[in-house]
Amino acid sequence: MIRTAVLGATGYAGIELVRILSGHPEASIEILGSQSFAGKPISEVYENFAHVLENECEKLDLDRAAECDVAFTALPHGASKDVIPSLIERGLKVIDLSGDFRYDDVKVYEKWYKQEHSSPELLAESVYGLPELYRDKIKTARLIGNPGCYTTCSILGAYPILKSGLGSSENIIVDAKSGVTGAGRGIALPYHFCECTENTKAYKVATHRHTSEIEQELSKAAGKDVMISFTPHLIPQKRGILSTIYVNLNKKCTTEELVEVYKEFYRGEYFVRVKEAGSLPETKHVAGSNFVDIGMVVDERLNRAVIVSAIDNIYKGAAGQAVQNMNLMFGLDEKTGIANAGFYL
């Protein structure tokens, strides 16, 4: 049994981790870290857990943490940076769900996050936790920067067309739509039910931090610097991200040929489902699962590909992917505990 600590267990990403781990056959939840709800059973904070998991939330105690094998840090931004070095020092593996350990270049982090990085040496060591691209490195890593939700969806959607050389690195547009769980459980007027329902909007146009994370990975795919337009939108649903990605083609191809490129690239990947030509992803096909669905249409009139990718933002975009990383780090089949189909309903 892998002994796990979930730090920040009562946020939305944290509680989804708890939900997944509570059904994981090879992991136990030893610590439910929560500053705000310390002393309270998790089943009072999230009443769906009554009779299933009734452990008390607790404040961070590094000595107790030291008894665990791995910590998931789903802490408010900045907080994880102080905690993580201590956890690593005590011999834990750490999977961090914040943006702090996702970057190859500390300068890119500091530019987009507008602050100095407190552990540049750990950043240098950390591995970007996107198993479909970095499986081998993840297996031996001590510290994982678990990818963002928009980024997981967008990178996996655009990677093969760039890697294959079929797609141009110029004029890439990523137009992404996210459900409201992506904003977390903090309360604020824009997330009031009456303000959210029956409403769609764009936000942080041209400035969202995930832009830099997507560009980092797509630049590696293209073999040169890629800059993209990334526009996040808030849509009135709980779970789900749909990224619509526009890429100009370097040479003519059909939808079927492009699908074949994707199928080849993702051959053997359980969690990536490339749709046949004529079929496109929908967020309800992935909600509640670790799958990434990718479909595409080549617009031969314009010599441009439109690629649509979908994930569940708090599952493959956060908690599920974190568990996928844990599975890899501890030598398990990466599907363990997360192989299920989505809810659909």
For residue 177, the minimal CB distance to its own copies (Å) is 5
The answer for 278, left when phi > 0, alpha when psi is -120 to 50, beta otherwise, is left
Site for its own copies in 225-244 (CB under 8 A): 227, 229, 231, 233, 235-240, 242, 244
Q: Which of 56, 66, 273, 277 binds its own copies (CB under 8 A)?
A: 273
Task: Specify the residue, 147 or 240, whose C-beta has the smaller distance to its own copies.
Answer: 240
Per-residue binder mask for its own copies (CB under 8 A), 37-66, x = binder:
---------xxxxxxxx-------------
- Give the burial string for 99-117 (b: 16+ CB within 10 Å, else e): bbbbbeeeeebeebbeeeb
For residue 73, the minimal CB distance to its own copies (Å) is 20
Task: Specify the residue, 131 or 145, whose C-beta has the smaller distance to its own copies.
Answer: 131
# of chain residues touching its own copies (CB under 8 A): 86
User: Which structure tokens are listed for 89?
Assistant: 């020092």
> Is residue 124 involved in binding its own copies (CB under 8 A)?
no
> Is residue 33 involved in binding its own copies (CB under 8 A)?
no
Q: Which stretch binds its own copies (CB under 8 A): 79-87, 88-96, 116-124, 282-290?
A: 282-290
CA distance 288 to 320: 9
Beta-strand pair 304-311/241-248: antiparallel
CA distance 138 to 189: 39
For residue 165, give the 3-state DSSP assignment: coil
CA distance 23 to 169: 42
Beta-strand pair 228-234/201-202: antiparallel
> Is residue 278 involved in binding its own copies (CB under 8 A)?
no
CA–CA distances in Å: residue 327 to residues 15, 32, 67, 143 = 19, 19, 19, 14
Site for its own copies in 283-322 (CB under 8 A): 283-289, 291, 293, 297-299, 301-302, 304, 306, 308, 314
> Is residue 116 involved in binding its own copies (CB under 8 A)?
no
- What single string gives the DSSP state of each residue in 58-107? E---HHHHTT-SEEEE-PSTTHHHHHHHHHHHTT-EEEE-SSTT--S-HH
| Alpha-carbon dihedral 279, 280, 285, 287, rounded to 10 degrees | 170
Asked if 57 and 67 count as a contact pair (C-beta separation under 8 A), the reply is: no
Q: Which of 1, 62, 124, 341 binds its own copies (CB under 8 A)?
A: 341
For residue 89, the minimal CB distance to its own copies (Å) is 34
> Is residue 263 involved in binding its own copies (CB under 8 A)?
no
> Is residue 102 involved in binding its own copies (CB under 8 A)?
no
Q: Which of 203, 223, 224, 333 binds its own copies (CB under 8 A)?
A: 203
CA distance 304 to 320: 32
For residue 97, the minimal CB distance to its own copies (Å) is 15
Task: Specify the residue, 93 or 210, whose C-beta has the smaller distance to its own copies.
Answer: 210
149 is catalytic: yes
Task: Name the catalytic one among 149, 153, 196, 253.
Answer: 149
Site for its own copies in 142-181 (CB under 8 A): 171, 173, 175, 177, 179-181
> Is residue 264 involved in binding its own copies (CB under 8 A)?
no
Tell me the catalytic residues: 149
